[in-house]
Amino acid sequence: MVYVPKITEFDLNVDTAYLTGVIIGDGHISGDYRSFPPRDEIDPKIAIEGGNRVFICDEVKPLVDKTILRSCNVTERGSRGINRNPTWVLAFRSKYFHKFLTEDLGLPKGKKAEKISLRVMLEKIGDRAEVKRALIAGIFDTDGGLRGNSIGHCTASKSLRDEMIDLLAENDIAATRSEWVNKRYNKKYYDWRIKRHESIRSFLEKIPLRNKIRKERIRQRFCAAPAAKVV
């Protein structure tokens, strides 16, 4: 048996920024106490859940394995309701990566949707443009996508929406902002959208997306050459 040492410290680089973006988009950072000893400590469980099995298995899982130096499994969760597809869950425990996310980067434990902010993380990134672009990619790959005749991202956090627009502006990508209320749940949401086709093409060129299926759908919609007219 080969002993693999635990990683106890993490650098904020392209891979960890991307993985953090994935967790912001489709993940959950446990805030519950352990159900096993020592019970007075927070369970350092981190879970990522999504409907794209290929993306989770081929992109996210190898990145977690490499970053944490720990193999993790992807399990299928049954569909929730009629006409809904199953989702896929990648879960792992790492006390040190949990601490990295919550203490070093300032991400909230437990329900995070309305509390997410990138302020602490962006201060640590500084002027490293490639790390910022990796963060954008991780969030968009999991929680963004096509929005009618545009692409964009919707969140319950006004701070996150505004910070994402600022990050896009740093890459000379213009995005519009809007907000709306879900009347069923009386909950406010904030979104950004990129509407101009040349800006969408610029987004695909500059932001290192790893969700190949999502990227190809966007490329086919906005970047594919028009069919030649038959004379």
Q: The tokens of 101 are what?
A: 């996310």
pLDDT tens by residue, 104-131: 999 999 887 788 999 999 999 999 999 9
Q: Is 90 exceeded by the pLDDT of residue 31?
A: no
pLDDT tens by residue, 152-172: 999 999 999 999 999 999 999
Q: Is the pTM of this model over 0.85?
A: yes
User: Cα–Cα–Cα angle for 184, 187, 188, nearest 5°?
Assistant: 130
pLDDT bucket at 42, cuts 50 / 70 / 90: confident
Per-residue pLDDT, 152: 97
User: Cα–Cα–Cα angle for 190, 86, 59, nearest 5°?
Assistant: 75
Q: Is 60 exceeded by the pLDDT of residue 9?
A: yes
Q: Is 50 exceeded by the pLDDT of residue 3?
A: no
Greater confidence (100 vs 230) lies with 100
Rg (CA), the chain: 19
Domain 14-218 in CATH: superfamily? Homing endonucleases (3.10.28.10)
Q: Is 80 exceeded by the pLDDT of residue 96?
A: yes
Q: Is the peptide bond before 38 cis (omega within 30 degrees of 0)?
A: yes
Question: What residue ranges do the domains of the chain occupy?
Answer: 14-218
Per-residue pLDDT, 1: 40
β-pairing verdict for 45-50 and 74-77:
unpaired
DSSP E strands in 107-218: the ranges are 144-146, 151-155, 176-182, 187-194
Place of tokens 């635990």: 6
